[in-house]
Structures are given as C-alpha cells and as structure tokens.
C-alpha cells in the first residue's frame, strides 16, 4: 500500500484528483438529465406505435410493463373469435319426451337471405317450432341493418344471429303476416311477432343465472315469460318440456339426458349453445301491465328475485351458434409460446365449446390430454390446490367463469410473482382489470366502466393486438436499456480518459478546441442557440433524415443507385406510390413478390405478399440504420467547431 501511495504521489496526485472530480461530476450530471427525457420519449413513441396497431394506452408506464408480461388471461368471444355469430344448428323437441329433432341452418352472415334451414316445414311450423321462433324474436334486443359494408348487427351479435334465424324460420300459418308490410323485408317476421305480443318487462341478463327473460302480453291479454340462456342453467330451473304438438309433459331424467346429449354434441363441434324456455301465465304477473304501483313491479326492481321468477319453466329447444376463431390468433398464440408467455382462456361459455375452440386456435394440441388443464370457474374455486393448478405449464382454460373467478385467478398469479395481463368488457370485470398488472378493456364490446378501469383499450377487440403490444413493450425496454448502456459506458469512458491522463502524467489528451483562444471573447448576453446555429441544426437534421429515409425508399424502388447494384438478392421492386400506400396492399390485384435472401434466411411471400412490407423490410431497415450511424459518426466530428474545418 505504501508503494502504491508513493507511486500515485509521483503521478501528480493533486492534478489527478482535480480532473477525476470534474469528470465524475460531469458523468453524474449527464445521466439524470438524459434519462427522464429518453424514457419519456421512448414511452411516448411506443404509445403512438401501439395506437397504430389498435392498442390504445391510457397509462404511460403500462407501455413498459407490457414487456414484462408472463401470463395473458384472455376472454374467448370477440377476442379469440370474430364475434360474427350465426346459427348453425337448431334442435327442437320431438313427438315424445325422449326424442329431439335437428335442423341444419345454412349461412354465416347477418343476411337473412344467406342460406336456408334444411328440411324446414315452411309455413307449416308445429307448436314447438313456433315457440322457439317467438322466444328468439321477442327475448331479443338486437336488430339487423343494411349498410355500405353489407349486413351488420345492431346490438349483441348472439341476439342478432337469433333474429336472422327467426327470418329464416318464416311465419307460421295464422300469424298476421300483414303486420310486417310496413317494415322492410329484412326483419319482417320479427316485427310480426312483436305486433302479436308486446313486451311489458325485461329480466336483464346476469352472469349468475346466465339467462335473459322478458314478460310479454298477447293481443288477447295472455301473459308469458320467455327466457333464453345457457342450457344447463335453464334445465336446472325447468320442470317441463314442450313436445312438437305443443303438449307439455314433465321433464324427467331420461328427457334431460337426451337434451344434454344434444348439448354435448353441439358444443363439441365448437358451437356456442343457447336454450329456449318459457312459462305461461306466471302467477306474479297475471294482472301486471307495467304499472309501477303493482306488487310485481317491486320484484322486477330486485335482480335477486329473477331466479325465482324464472323457475318451473317449460323447456322448448336449443340452438348452436358458430363463432369462428380469428385467423391471426393461432400465430399469435404460437408467438406467445415462443416468447415464454402463458395463455389462459377465461370464458363464460360451455366447457366443451371452449375446449373445441382452444384446440382449434392452438391453446391445446389436437390430441393433448387436457382433463387437468380445463375446468369450470366453480371447480377452480373448490380446487384443493389452486396455486398448483395455475402453476401448470402450457395453456389453461376456465369455462363457465364469472368475474369473481377472474379476480381470484389474477390475485393468485400475482402472488406467485407473475406479471398478468387480463382482458374484460363488462362492468363486473372492472375489479379484475384494476387488480391485474395490465388491465385490457375491449374497445368495441367493452363498457365505459371497464375502459376506465383498464390500462389499455383494444380498438379491434383482437387477441393478436395484445401480443403485438407486448412485443412493442419489450422493444421499448430494450431501447431504454441500450441508451442507458451507451450513456453510462460513454461517461465512464470519459472519466477514465481524464483520470488516466492525469494519473500517468502525460499531456492532456482532451483539451478545448485549438483555436478557442485566438477568438475575441463572446458577449455576455450571447444566446446558446443563435439563428445561424439553429439553421445549421435544421439543415444537418434535414439531410440526415433525407439520407436515412431515402436509402429505405431506394431499396424498395430501384435496382441500382449511384452505380451500386442493389438487385443481387432478386428482391421485387415496387413503385413509390405503392410504397406510400403499403397499408392498402390487400386491395391490390395480382400483386406478387419474389422470394429473396437476407443473410442465411430466405423470405418467401407466397401465402401473403403484403408481408413484404413487414418482415420483408429487413434489408431496407439495415441500410437505413447503417446510413444513420455513419452520418452521425461524421456529424460528431463536425460538431467540434462552429466555424473551423476539421
């Protein structure tokens, strides 16, 4: 130690200490000033990029948090699927209690003329089919509208699909079809049912009883309760079934098994299944006509009484609705798997339906054993080892789930150290969205309460948008780390340079510009940025931007530039107009792209030529970055003096 101390003393200790203190002060001062601005800029740019991808960020810090996501808990309907519902199968009761009839329904759009019902008794519907049509038409708040984009749903897609079914079923003999003449043909049958019986009360849908009911009064004063909802829940509250001729018999275990077999068959085919039930002359509402003073009105104001009102029902039939998965979801889930992100599907749908969809989109393999990975929300709450269940690798499915189940799942995942992104759309989902690290609300189907509670809103309700946002979050974090790495290492290098120069005792290697003492003193009121300096900044920035963007454009539009051959990789050329309108690529006719090689990777765009402007821009990006770095290196030398040549 004494020897070392003597050596340092010989190397001008005072001078070394002086320069070291200055260098450390400069390094420490530079970091706090630069970091907040860079972090804020990165987050702001990331927010803008996410908005372009339909992910609207409401809270800036959540942009970076997205990059840490380890688990995505996603709803199914509308997020993993298109939410473009269409009835594919109708099951009605048969002539006997243990028999059912099935009808295949054609069409996949909201156009009532798109397909028909196979083997349908047009104009000769029996009593049971009429009951199903009446429930589908009246226990329904949706509409079908014709627009420039075709036929669109007004209201819930599920209910809109039932309206289309009513139109395909047609009107039974005896119903006043003339009442529909004042309406367009689009919803004529539904309007005819509404003319024959009008609604006097509504029992709104809730997730506990999983059904929605209406009380209607016929033109003859007869009251009826019409209910649609989850088949299992309706069967629990049904005591009778209606046969094809309209007669009512008791719902015994054998009849219930036949109905449940039909339910399993439909749900195993990835169909979402709804049941239809009714009750004639409900005792509490026989004299009710909407009067607020009537005793029955108090029952309607209390949702807790709805299960009691919807009891002793008569089951009439069921319908299977197809909600096809989004095409891009399978790849998004594969991307999650490669990125180490676990996907959990939490849905209110039937277990078999949800399992079939999950196999179709790749959450589960086609032959994967999932008995331990797919359970209902109720089973999860009763599970003896909830944390152990959530700790399983691979995809997990929670069907018939309720908002409180979502909340418990998020809480347990966070306790286990996971960073959780949770989707939701309803008012009751708000607590789970608040609790999650990243709460994601649906922009189309979501309520305002859910959006307010969320950190991010999906403008397109699409699962793949979540995955794209997570990727953007990771990029932002990497960019911030790269800048911090550059800033700290550069400042430490400056400290080391000044310290070593003083410690060794050599002449200073970093001194002011050599001509600085040959100039007259600056004025005390000189501004740091004069008009001339500002002009220089603008000119330099302009040519840096033009060169960087220009080389990107040139690669796409030219096969050579300034004598440099750019066609060696055989990439396809596009016009400048096409490049400017690249986002309209899907509308271009006969647009094809040749495969080309970048490094060891061959890019082929036979399946989707428009990917040329996404994954195919790798070489153009490399050229732009190279030009930007080269110019900035020269610009750093250029910045040494305002008016002297290098």
Query: 588: how many CB neighbours lie within 10 A of its CB?
Result: 14
Cα Rg, the chain, nearest whole Å = 34
Helices (H) and strands (E) in the chain, counts: 21, 23
**CA atoms of 465 and 57, how far apart (whole Å):** 12
Q: Is 456 exposed, middle or buried (0-12, 13-18, 19+ CB in 10 A)?
A: buried
Q: Is 455 exposed, middle or buried (0-12, 13-18, 19+ CB in 10 A)?
A: buried
Q: State both tokens at 496.
A: 């080391």
Catalytic residue among 75, 425, 429, 437: 75
**Residue 141 is among the residues annotated as catalytic for this protein:** no
Cα gap 469→457, rounded to integer Å? 11
CA proximity to 353, closest of 318, 307, 384, 386:
318
E runs forming strands in 14-172: 55-57, 71-74, 86-93, 100-104, 143-147, 150-154
DSSP β-bridge partners for residue 250 = 240
What beta strand segments (E) does 407-448 contain? Answer: 420-424, 438-442
Q: What is the dihedral of CA 326, 158, 322, 355, to 10 degrees?
A: 70
Residue 413 burial class via C-beta count within 10 angstroms: exposed 0-12, middle 13-18, buried 19 and up: buried
What phi, psi does 466 have (nearest 5°)?
A: -60, -45
Cα→Cα distances 420→68, 330, 440, Å: 9, 20, 10
DSSP-derived pairing of the beta strands 420-424 and 71-74: parallel
Helix (H) or strand (E) holding 193: helix 188-196
Q: Which residues of 244-265 are buried (b: 16+ CB within 10 A; e: fewer)?
A: beeeeeebeeebbebbeebbbb
Query: How far is 140 from 144, CA to CA, in rounded Å?
Result: 12
DSSP state of 30: H
Q: Which of 383, 458, 533 is nearest to 80 (CA)?
A: 458
The catalytic site residues sit at 75
């Amino acid at each position: 130690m004494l020897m070392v101390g003597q050596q340092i003393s010989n190397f001008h200790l005072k001078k070394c200490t002086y320069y070291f203190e200055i260098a450390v002060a400069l390094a420490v001062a530079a970091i706090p000033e630069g970091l907040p601005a860079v972090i804020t800029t990165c987050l702001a740019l990331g927010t803008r990029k996410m908005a372009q991808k339909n992910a609207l960020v409401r809270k800036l810090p959540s942009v970076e948090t997205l990059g840490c996501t380890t688990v995505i808990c996603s709803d199914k309907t509308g997020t993993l699927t298109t939410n473009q519902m269409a009835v594919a199968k109708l099951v009605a009761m048969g002539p006997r209690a243990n028999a059912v009839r099935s009808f295949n329904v054609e069409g996949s759009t909201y156009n009532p003329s798109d397909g028909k019902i196979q083997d349908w008794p047009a104009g000769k519907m029996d009593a049971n089919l009429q009951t199903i049509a009446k429930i589908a038409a009246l226990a329904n708040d949706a509409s079908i509208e014709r627009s420039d984009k075709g036929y669109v749903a007004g209201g819930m897609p599920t209910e809109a699909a039932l309206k289309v079914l009513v139109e395909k079923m047609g009107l039974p003999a005896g119903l006043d079809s003339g009442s529909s003449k004042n309406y367009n043909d689009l919803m004529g049958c539904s309007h005819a049912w509404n003319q024959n019986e009008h609604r006097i009360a509504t029992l709104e849908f809730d997730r506990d009883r999983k059904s929605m009911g209406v009380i209607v009064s016929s033109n003859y004063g007869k009251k009826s309760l019409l209910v649609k909802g989850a088949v299992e829940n309706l069967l629990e509250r049904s005591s009778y079934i209606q046969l094809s001729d309209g007669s009512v018999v008791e719902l015994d275990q054998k009849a219930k098994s036949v109905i449940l077999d039909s339910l399993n068959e439909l749900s195993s085919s990835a169909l979402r299944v709804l049941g239809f039930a009714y009750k004639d002359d409900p005792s509490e509402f026989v004299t009710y006509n909407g009067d607020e003073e009537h005793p029955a009105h108090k029952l309607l104001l209390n949702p807790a009484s709805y299960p009691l009102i919807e009891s002793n029902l008569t089951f009439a039939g069921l319908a299977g609705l197809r909600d096809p998965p989004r095409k891009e979801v399978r790849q998004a889930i594969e991307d999650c798997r490669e990125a180490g992100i676990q996907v959990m599907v939490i849905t209110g749908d039937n277990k078999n339906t949800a399992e079939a969809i999950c196999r179709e989109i790749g959450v589960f393999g086609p032959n994967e054993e999932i008995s331990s990975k797919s359970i209902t929300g109720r089973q999860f709450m009763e599970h003896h080892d909830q944390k152990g269940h959530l700790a399983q690798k691979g995809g997990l499915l929670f069907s018939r789930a309720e908002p409180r189940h979502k909340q418990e799942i998020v809480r347990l995942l966070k306790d286990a150290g996971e960073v959780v992104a949770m989707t939701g759309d309803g008012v009751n989902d708000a607590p789970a969205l608040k609790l999650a690290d990243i709460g994601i609300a649906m922009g189309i189907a979501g309520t305002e309460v859910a959006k307010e509670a969320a950190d991010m809103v999906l403008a397109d309700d699409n699962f793949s948008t979540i995955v794209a946002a997570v990727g953007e979050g990771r990029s932002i974090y990497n960019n911030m780390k790269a800048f911090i790495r550059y800033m700290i290492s550069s400042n430490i290098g400056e400290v080391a340079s000044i310290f070593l120069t003083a410690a060794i005792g050599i002449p200073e290697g970093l001194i002011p510009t050599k001509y600085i003492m040959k100039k007259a003193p600056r004025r005390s009121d000189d501004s740091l940025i004069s008009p001339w300096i500002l002009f220089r900044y603008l000119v330099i920035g302009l040519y840096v931007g033009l060169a960087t963007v220009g080389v990107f454009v040139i690669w796409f539009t030219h096969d050579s530039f300034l004598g440099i051959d750019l066609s060696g990789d055989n990439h396809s050329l596009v016009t400048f107009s096409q490049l400017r309108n690249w986002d309209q690529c899907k509308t271009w006719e006969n647009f094809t792209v040749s495969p080309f090689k970048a490094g060891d990777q061959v890019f082929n765009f036979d399946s989707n030529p428009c990917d040329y402007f996404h994954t195919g821009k790798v070489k153009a990006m490399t050229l732009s970055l190279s030009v930007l770095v080269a110019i900035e290196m020269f610009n750093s030398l250029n910045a040494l003096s305002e008016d002297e040549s290098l």
